[in-house]
Amino acid sequence: MDSRYAASLQQLEEQGRLRTLRPLEKGESGPFALWNDAKLLNLTSNDYLGIGRNKGLQDQFYARYGNKKEQYGLAAASSRLLAGDSFPAHALEKDISLAYGSEKALLFNSGYHANIGILPALCGKNDLILSDKLNHASIHDGLTLSRAAHKRYRHKDYAQLRTLLARHRNQVDQVVIVSETIFSMDGDMADLQELVALKKEFNAMLYLDEAHAVGVRGTRGLGQAEESGILADVDLLVGTFGKALASIGAYVCCSHDICAYLVNHSRSFIFTTALPPVTLHWNRFVFNLIADMDAERSHLQTLSDRLRLELEKSTIKTGGSSNIIPVLIGDDRKALAMAESMRTHGFLIFPVRPPAVPEGTARFRLSLSSDMQWRDLQPLVPAIKAADVEGKQ
């Protein structure tokens, strides 16, 4: 039987798509990592605000709790519906709901758990889910697990979305429109005003995944919905701790009734061990920090705009408008070769290839963080051009 899997792995390697695990050592400080004893600028991490690399913040966190060892419990050892619920979990959920102005917030163990658990719980066989084609894989998996019908509209094609709503709304009990706010592989943003207008026109629910916007967008770092002024119009807002907040876990902001319904029906919430106490305390600590990190957000956007402009001036294919900056390459094997070349120039970049992105669109996904400086990024564009030449040889 193993020969079947070996042949598949061989095919992936020939295509330039074989994935392997690569342990990294973090640098002592700043946005660097050690790769084969070389100090490289890490352009692959989602630590957008540098919180995970900030030793000072970690010292503050541990100093705050002193010798209260119960705060550092390493395991919940049970699901929340059994013995794994805790006061720190409820305190964090309350802080989140107050910040967003929502009736309730509910924790999940990751963004993946949220996206595979919420839609299947809320949507039945007489419902319809309309999802942006470039939404994250976890959302697509949630669609598959749901008993509801689902259709994917072309990326940010709201005219097609409107056509689908007009065609199907009266044939189903409920419609849910699902979109990321900042798309994870392209770094572009959904038109939230347009999505809200469509939600209202067709009496639909709006589900927004803010995974890559929490921390880096909005005056208080609550995401793109806050920045766009439409928080009150979002029925289900999913945020994560695993990106800019440098931890693990996720949450959904929703109504009281939906929260209670998810507690009773969301399988990825019910049938999993709760987050450990130390994680809950850290999540609450960093969540309450981000409101005061506007300087970091501004610096990050300035860096991102400048780098994107330099790429465009050098005729390097790019896109988006966030701190996620794609460099479009196309061929999988070339992307792999160019990534190896970039490491010789001092940059840690791993290529993104199908199925994470559509066929023929292999790329670098440059993730900038607020603890970078322009001097760190200035050599990047010449290095990409050099790697492109080397990749063609």
Distance of CA 72 to the CA centre of its chain: 26
Task: Give pLDDT, residue 391.
Answer: 62
HSE-up of residue 167 (Cα within 13 Å, Cβ side): 9
Task: Give pLDDT, residue 1.
Answer: 59
Q: Rounded to whole angstroms, how far apart are CA atoms 144 and 135?
A: 13
Q: Which residue has the higher pLDDT, 200 or 64?
A: 200
Task: Give pLDDT, residue 62.
Answer: 87
Residue 167 has pLDDT above 70, yes or no: yes
Task: Give pLDDT, residue 300.
Answer: 98
Q: What is the DSSP letter of 189?
A: B
User: 172, 149 in Cβ contact below 8 A?
Assistant: yes
Task: Give pLDDT, residue 36.
Answer: 83
Q: Which residue has the higher pLDDT, 68 or 27?
A: 68
Q: Rounded to whole angstroms, how far apart are CA atoms 73 and 131?
A: 39
- Average pLDDT of the chain? 94
Q: Rounded to whole angstroms, how far apart are CA atoms 240 and 109?
A: 9
Q: Name residue 42's beta-bridge partners.
A: 348
Q: Rounded to whole angstroms, how far apart are CA atoms 116 and 139?
A: 7
What is the rounded average pLDDT of the residues 156-162?
A: 98
pLDDT in tens, 304-325: 999 999 999 999 999 999 999 9
What is the percent of the chain with per-residue pLDDT over 90, rounded to a whole number? 85
Q: Same CATH topology for 15-49+294-392 and 72-291?
A: no
Residue 28 has pLDDT above 80, yes or no: no
pLDDT in tens, 229-250: 999 999 999 999 999 999 999 9
Residue 174 has pLDDT above 90, yes or no: yes
Residue 23 has pLDDT above 90, yes or no: no
- pLDDT bucket at 30, cuts 50 / 70 / 90: confident
Run of H or E including 362: strand 362-367
Task: Give pLDDT, residue 376.
Answer: 96
Residue 213 has pLDDT above 70, yes or no: yes
Is the omega angle on the peptide bond into residue 355 within 30 degrees of 0, that is, cis? yes
Residue 105 has pLDDT above 70, yes or no: yes
Task: Give pLDDT, residue 20.
Answer: 87
pLDDT in tens, 116-156: 999 999 999 999 999 999 999 999 999 999 999 999 999 99
Residue 130 φ then ψ, to 5°: -115, 120
Q: What is the DSSP letter of 169?
A: G
pLDDT in tens, 57-92: 999 998 887 667 767 788 889 999 999 999 999 999
Q: Name residue 351's beta-bridge partners.
A: 364
Q: What is the DSSP letter of 25?
A: E
User: Alpha helix locations (H) across the chain?
Assistant: 2-15, 55-65, 87-100, 111-122, 137-145, 158-168, 192-201, 224-228, 256-265, 267-270, 277-287, 294-313, 332-344, 374-377, 380-392
Task: Give pLDDT, residue 204.
Answer: 98
Question: 15-49+294-392: what fold?
Answer: Aspartate Aminotransferase, domain 1 (3.90.1150)
Q: What are the domain boundaries of the chain?
A: 15-49+294-392, 72-291
> What are the tokens at 238?
């999913």
Q: Hey, which CATH number is domain 72-291, 3.30.420.40, 3.40.640.10, 3.90.1170.50, 1.20.120.550? A: 3.40.640.10
Q: Rounded to whole angstroms, how far apart are CA atoms 272 and 268?
A: 6
Straight-line distance from the first to the last Cα atom of the chain, in angstroms, rounded to the nearest whole number:
38
